[in-house]
Amino acid sequence: MRYYPVNLNIRDKLCVVIGGGKVAERKVKNLLRHGGRVRMVSPDLTDRLSKWVSQGKIDYTRSEYRASHLKGAFLVHAATSDRKVNAEIARDAAKRRLLVNVADSASESTFILPAVVRKREISIAVSTNGLSPATSVRIRDRIKEFIEKGTLAKTERKNTIKEGRIGKVYLVGAGPGDPELITVKGLKLIQQADAIVYDFLIDQRLLSFGWKIFIPSHDEARRNQSAALQKGQRALGCCSSKKRRSVCLWPRCGRSRLPGRAEYSL
């Protein structure tokens, strides 16, 4: 899904946050920073949220969620640890045509939050359209480093040559089946990759993750691990990060390895 980027003025507008854990705490902190008027709804709160309540920074209703809690809201954050409750909040907000962000479901959200770099009056937002928040944060941090130091690209190229680091190729087994069956380690490697060599049978949703260069390998690497490794090595030449890595994906067939289990140094 493609989202319409927009800067939103929430000053003195009622922002309702359902939930009282660490995720809700981060939401509230961001809302307060931008002048929002916050109403919390939760049976319990973190210590920091409780402190903000005692300081009068936020309103607090100690209760399980009810649809009436959304009355008068400008936007809503569903940030509970209960999937069913978050889905219910999303439905209730949709009925009332309210902006809603569901912490554990981008598809149920009418808005998502980018990773943001702020420098005085300049704000730079990075978004992967909800596919990989971790990647957004990683890119945001690189931009922040560049703004603060102004030497990111130059330093990385210098260190790469000096240390002689080329990187590693990881073989991650995948295929035309359900992409959600990939292992946590396999998904992490994809998200961290600088380049991916992939077969034409790979589910395209897997290729939506990470910050990398897509290099289709098609038939040559379909059942040939050595060909995939060779392409992975060439792909590393396209990358400029200090600790470069490449991930090769190919269908699970024959004697291919499990996701994220094969690792080769180059």
pLDDT of res. 156: 43
pLDDT of res. 209: 59
Q: Where residue 109 sits, what CATH number does that domain have? A: 3.40.50.720
Residue 72: pLDDT band (50, 70, 90) is very high
Within a domain: residue 2?
A: no
Distance of CA 21 to the CA centre of its chain: 19
pLDDT of res. 261: 42
**What number is the average pLDDT over the span 150-158?**
48
Within a domain: residue 103?
A: yes
Q: Where residue 172 sits, what CATH number does that domain have? A: 3.40.1010.10
What's the residue count for the chain? 266
pLDDT of res. 159: 43
Q: Which residue has the higher pLDDT, 29 or 244?
A: 29
pLDDT of res. 54: 96
**What number is the average pLDDT over the span 242-260?**
48
Within a domain: residue 9?
A: no
Lowest-confidence pick of 49-58, 172-181, 191-200: 191-200
Give yes or no: residues 177 and 238 share one domain: yes
pLDDT of res. 53: 96
**What number is the average pLDDT over the span 180-184?**
79
Instruction: Give the Cα separation of 131 and 151 in Å (integer).
Output: 29
Total domain count, the chain: 3
Task: Tell me the β-bridge partners of 18.
Answer: 41, 78
Within a domain: residue 4?
A: no
Instruction: Give the Cα separation of 183 and 3 in Å (integer).
Output: 28
Residue 116: pLDDT band (50, 70, 90) is confident
pTM, entire model: 0.58
pLDDT of res. 61: 96
Within a domain: residue 155?
A: no
Distances (CA, A) of 159 to 151, 154, 243, 244: 12, 9, 9, 11
CA-nearest of 26, 244, 12, 35 to 116 is: 26
Domain around 91: 14-113
Give yes or no: residues 36 and 124 share one domain: no
Give yes or no: residues 98 and 31 share one domain: yes
Instruction: Give the Cα separation of 114 and 137 in Å (integer).
Output: 8
Within a domain: residue 215?
A: yes
Within a domain: residue 127?
A: yes
Instruction: Give the Cα separation of 46 and 27 in Å (integer).
Output: 13
Residue 212 has pLDDT above 60, yes or no: no
Give yes or no: residues 137 and 219 share one domain: no
Eight-state DSSP code of residue 242: T
Give yes or no: residues 18 and 105 share one domain: yes
Give yes or no: residues 125 and 106 share one domain: no
- SS (HEC) of 207-226: HHCCCCEEEECHHHHCCCHH
